[in-house]
Amino acid sequence: MSIVTRKSPREIDLMRRAGRIVAEVLALVESELRPGISTAALDEMAERHIRDAGATPSFKGYYDYPASLCISIDDEVVHGIPGERQVRGGQVVSIDAGAIWQGYHGDAARTFVVGDVPDPVRQLVDDTRLGLMAGIAAARPGAHIGDISAAVEAIGAPAGYGVVRQYVGHGIGTRMHEAPQVPNYTTGQRGLKLVPGICLAIEPMFTLGTWECDVRPDGWTVVTRDGSLAAHFEHTIAITEDGPEILTSV
């Protein structure tokens, strides 16, 4: 059985610094995201910011992943690899970023719309963010992992979205992926009881179609099986005596 670690106030402070750097990266990308910019250029500026801040990109080299960001466009759910392709107007662009500060990780993701998109697409993005915030609100001392899962699903399922099952949230600390897993759907199990010191990355992924996904031949890029659009939001949080604290904020 995987061991769930509780972080000390000092460790949470280090994660808070890592998380702030991640939040700065996402804000930087948002400010530069426009039609015509390449995903490689976004990745380069993100890596530069992380390293200039004295941190290390979490993703680069992780199982040989080649970049500092995951950039997933339209039907790509997660783990899209930056490259020479250019962003176009009308696209949905999900950015996942991670940084390591003195051995501790921060991990967060946001989905952006570029230019004009149909109302249902904008609603998908807004509702996925609401799913994240509902999951965070449920992460209180004495609650269980299953309460987070139910809160996320309660936003996505009634709206008719596909709630991705193959990829879930996770514990986080000195490793990017630690126990426990945090599903975005109810599993019939209450799961781990939440106590102060537990740190989690909560990350709902909703689609306009099926929840089923496939991996492209590059071995990384996850796409919806039916080609429907997807959105992804994530925050790293700490469970405190007073409730959840978002660590990936500016």
Domains of the chain from N-terminus onward: 9-246 (3.90.230.10)
Tell me: the pLDDT tens digits for 140-170? Answer: 999 999 999 999 999 999 999 999 999 999 9
Put simply, whether the predicted model's pTM sits higher than 0.85 gets the answer yes
Tell me: the pLDDT tens digits for 79-134? Answer: 999 999 999 999 999 999 999 999 999 999 999 999 999 999 999 999 999 999 99
What are the residues whose beta carbons fall under 8 Å from the beta carbon of 56, sequence distance 6 or more? 50, 99, 100
List Cβ<8 Å contacts ≥24 apart for 175-179: 175/105, 176/58, 176/62, 176/98, 176/105, 176/107, 178/2, 178/4, 178/5, 179/2, 179/3, 179/4
